[in-house]
Amino acid sequence: MTHITFDYTHAKSFFDENRFQAEASRVHAIHQTLHDRHADVEGYKGWVHLPHTYEREEFTKIKRVANNIQNDSDVLLVIGVGGSYLGARAAIEMLHHNFRDLLCEEARKTPHIIFVGHNMSSTYISQVKDVLQDKDFSINVISKSGTTTEPAIAFRIFKEILIEKYGVKEARRRTYITTDKEKGALRKLAEEEGNETFIIPNDIGGRYSVLTAVGLLPMAVSGIDIDQVMAGAHQAFEELHEASMDNIAYQYAMIRYLLHEEGKTVELLVNYEPNMQSFSKWWQQLFGESEGKNKQGIFPVYATFPTDLHSIGQYIQDGRKDLFETIIQIDESVEQITVPYQEENIDELNYIADKTIHTINEKIVSGATLAHVDGDIPNMAIHVPKLDAYTFGYLVYFFQKACAMSGYLHNVNPFDQPGVEAYKKNMFALLGKPGFEQQKEMLEKRLKEFVPQLVASKMN
């Protein structure tokens, strides 16, 4: 049996099961393309063999540097966006205490991890500056291209603060750069300033890079056992290696594809653990950026139940029927908390007295699943034994494998993201980047037509 299990009992009646086997030869061909290292046409399949082939020397360096940061910093500032931050955040939130940052230093043991560079909110950035004032901190700036605007701006701001606090030499020592081996502004800077660097292999794209230094260094600094992360990923690599319809990653990909063919164009990833929200965001980027192109793809959204049953539950039950659900269900509970018995029973809850919270949660899962299936919402479940570093590594690899298969089933390249460039070009033009003059004029004219007052006030 595989480490995680996949159950699509409650999706079966929504697609033609004959298609499932009929598509097996396509799955087989895609599998060969993914695994054939020589057929690396897109140049982005390094993640497929990574759990087996990862650089052991780099891995040891990650642990050594993480240890140094733990010893000399109260805070690690992780600067990055998209695939250069979501995976690390997913792991850190999923595997640590929900209220980690409120725990005393003795209980927490390792530095706070603060993420910047994924937004351009002056409120957020100035609040990060506030909390850094009396703290020792280091920076891990992560960007494969080394040119992404939002993290580059954040780096400029916080590098200056680091220099003010420690002087140039020590600031350089406290700046850790994760980037391409040869290319980009960050590589150039590291060469000039002599910072410690980590490599993002050039055959691994941003959203497939969490099991490289991109994710592993922040995880290790936070105290996550990265040996366990890689061990879990390795088990997934071995268990999900077969070019067969018994491979659960391919089952998940195929059912998504067949449901999409039946008009189910939105996937809701459901979890029952509040500390899995960042993991859901990581999943959302993985599938959204990999699949949404050529007017194709399933729109990935996520929810935490039962919280969101009381917000979008009504829509799921009775709204448009273009949705299917994938639940991540944790089978083992960490703490056995029970509902206390009360003699007066004013709230009439004695019928569940002595039941564990975990049991109650399981009943909510079953109740919601059956209600949604009755409401024409297909449902798949991914059963996870428990939330630990090993399972995190396994889940990452499972979803990456499923996502690549799913992209190819939809006839798109799951490793590029040409659509992200459109907003960047507009932003460069509107900010006045040299070379974008003509576009600036055009965009400002368009904006003026739509919101004359706003543009007029900004241009004065």
CB of 384 to ligand PA5, least distance (A): 24
Tokens 């919280």 correspond to 307
Say whether 96 is catalytic.
no
Out of 34, 69, 76, 83, the residue judged to bind ligand PA5 by CB under 6 A: 83
In the region spanning residues 40 to 69, those forming contacts with ligand PA5, defined by CB under 6 A, are none
Of 46-54, 139-147, 325-333, 436-444, the window that binds ligand PA5 (rule: CB under 6 A) is: 139-147
Say whether 52 is catalytic.
no
CB of 428 to ligand PA5, least distance (A): 15
Out of 34, 48, 81, 190, the residue judged to bind ligand PA5 by CB under 6 A: 81
CB of 242 to ligand PA5, least distance (A): 27
**80 with 117: CB under 8 angstroms?**
yes
| Rounded distance between C-alpha atoms, residue 55 and residue 200, angstroms | 11
| Rounded distance between C-alpha atoms, residue 82 and residue 176, angstroms | 19
- Exactly one of 57, 164, 310, 421 is catalytic; name it: 310
DSSP 139-193: EEEE-SSS--HHHHHHHHHHHHHHHHHHHHHHHHHTEEEEE-SS-SHHHHHHHHH
Q: Which residues of 421-446 are buried (b: 16+ CB within 10 A; e: fewer)?
A: eeeeebebbeeeeeebeeebeebeee
CB of 197 to ligand PA5, least distance (A): 14
**109 with 147: CB under 8 angstroms?**
no
Out of 205, 215, 218, 378, the residue judged to bind ligand PA5 by CB under 6 A: 205
Say whether 267 is catalytic.
no
**303 with 322: CB under 8 angstroms?**
no
- Exactly one of 93, 196, 239, 289 is catalytic; name it: 289
Out of 144, 172, 174, 410, the residue judged to bind ligand PA5 by CB under 6 A: 144
Residue 148 in the binding site for ligand PA5 (CB under 6 A): yes
Residue 143 in the binding site for ligand PA5 (CB under 6 A): yes
* CB atoms closer than 10 angstroms to residue 200: 25
CB of 208 to ligand PA5, least distance (A): 7
Residue nearest to ligand PA5 (CB): 206
Residue 289 in the binding site for ligand PA5 (CB under 6 A): yes
* CB atoms closer than 10 angstroms to residue 61: 16
**443 with 430: CB under 8 angstroms?**
yes
Site residues (vs ligand PA5, CB under 6 A): 81-84, 143-145, 148, 151, 205-207, 289, 417
Residues with active-site annotation: 289, 310, 424
